[in-house]
Amino acid sequence: MYGTASKAKHELVKSLGATPIDYRTENFRERIRQLAPEGLDIALDPIGGRNWWASYNCLRRGGTLPCFGASSAVTKGKLEAGLGFALLGLTKILPDGKRAGWYNIKILRDAHPEQFREDLSKLFELLGERQIQPVIAERFPLREAARANELLENSEVQDKLVLLCQE
Q: Which fold has domain 3-132?
A: Rossmann fold (3.40.50)
Q: Give the CA radius of gyration of the chain.
A: 18
Q: Is the pLDDT of residue 76 over 60?
A: yes
Summarised one tens digit per residue, pLDDT across range 119-164 is 999 999 999 999 998 889 899 999 999 999 998 877 777 778 999 9
Sign of CA pseudo-dihedral 149, 155, 157, 161: positive
pLDDT in tens, 24-72: 888 989 999 999 999 999 998 888 888 888 899 999 999 999 988 776 5
Closest CA to 84 of 95, 71, 96, 93: 71
Positions of CATH 3.40.50.720 in the chain: 3-132
Q: Which long-range contacts (CB under 8 A, 24 or more apart) does 85-91 make?
A: 87/50, 87/52, 87/53, 87/56, 88/52, 91/56, 91/65
CA distance 49 to 54: 10
| H/E stretch holding 41 | strand 40-42
